Amino acid sequence: MKTPSPTPIPTPTFRDFEYAGWSNQSICETYDHHFGAVTRQSIEALLDAAAVSKGTRILDVCTGAGYGAGLAAERGALATGIDFSAAQVELARAHYPAATFQEGDGTSLPFPGETFDSVINSIGMPHFSDPDAAIGEAFRVLRKGGKFAFTVYDAPERSVGFGAVYQAVKEHGTMNVGLPQGPNFFLFSDPVESTNRLAAAGFGSIKIIVQPQIWRLTSPDDAIEAVLQGSVRAAATLKAQASELLPRIRATISERLGEYKRERLYEVPMPVVLASATRP
């Protein structure tokens, strides 16, 4: 009798990988604790770029712990935040009760066309398996004349916190650790790439600026632990390195961040690229 072949285990997609990571409450809380103070530094500029004011109907896609929707509500906007992670939605509701939050996918938004005056996305674009679909959905749910604005971390040579981690891995380990294939984390850091993709979706009046941010740390170890415990793709890349290589990777990260020591704190540049556009 022929032995049946074992049932193959499905290979997780990039979306599955991201969803599993960001569904972990501990990761979400650690990200909020370590990176929230950085991310919030560009939210006001993001809201300005999206022309958010009192009465604006705004959708915050990839809301995370709710910073965008929450600060929009403080301006008097009618703010809704959406995230595919129930853990993130729970955090957002606890932080910003004046805004409305719900679970949902940014590449298939559960809203009719032309529902919102503004759509924003703070650091969410690199987490989509199909970022062009997310741009298309932002266009669809915006009214004519509505504004879309998003931020992503700048290129790794300028966004030093992440750049130090990835450079250390490249020098001493490998970036090829078998993760599901997803878009380049810094794809939209390129102004030309952002401009072209927004234009292809039908947006006009496209503007790209760089918004400074500073990550203030008490030690380089804080940055390493923040990445290990409060991120998904970067954490998986670090954790997959051979154990004998990790001390060298850590030492290289610490040396790079050491250039930014200022008295008792390390002030590490973490600028974002802020793209904005209008639906004609």
Q: Is 116 exposed, middle or buried (0-12, 13-18, 19+ CB in 10 A)?
A: buried
Which CATH number covers residue 46? 3.40.50.150
222 domain-assigned: no
9 domain-assigned: no
Query: Is residue 245 scored above 70 in pLDDT?
Result: yes
Strand, coil or helix: what is 140?
helix
Query: Is residue 31 scored above 50 in pLDDT?
Result: yes
What confidence tier does 12 reach under pLDDT thresholds 50, 70, 90? confident
Region 18-47: mean pLDDT is 97
263 domain-assigned: no
CA neighbours within 13 Å on the CB side: how many for 46? 33
What confidence tier does 11 reach under pLDDT thresholds 50, 70, 90? low
Query: Is residue 250 scored above 50 in pLDDT?
Result: yes
What average pLDDT does the structure give for the chain?
95
25 domain-assigned: yes
DSSP-derived letter for residue 108 is B
208 domain-assigned: yes
Q: How many domains does the chain have?
A: 1
Region 7-31: mean pLDDT is 86
- Which tens digits make up the pLDDT trace of 265-276? 999 999 999 999
3 domain-assigned: no
Contacts of 233 (CB under 8 A, 6+ apart): 17, 18, 21, 179, 182, 185
Q: Which structural domain range is residue 75 located in?
A: 14-156+183-216+270-278
Query: Is residue 10 scored above 80 in pLDDT?
Result: no
Length of the chain: 280
Region 131-158: mean pLDDT is 98
- Which tens digits make up the pLDDT trace of 155-183? 999 999 999 999 999 999 999 999 999 99
234 domain-assigned: no
Region 49-70: mean pLDDT is 98
Weakest mean pLDDT among 49-58, 60-69, 135-144, 177-186: 177-186
Contacts of 270 (CB under 8 A, 6+ apart): 38, 153, 154, 159, 160, 161, 162, 213, 214, 215
109 domain-assigned: yes
* Residue 83, phi then psi, degrees to nearest 5: -150, 145
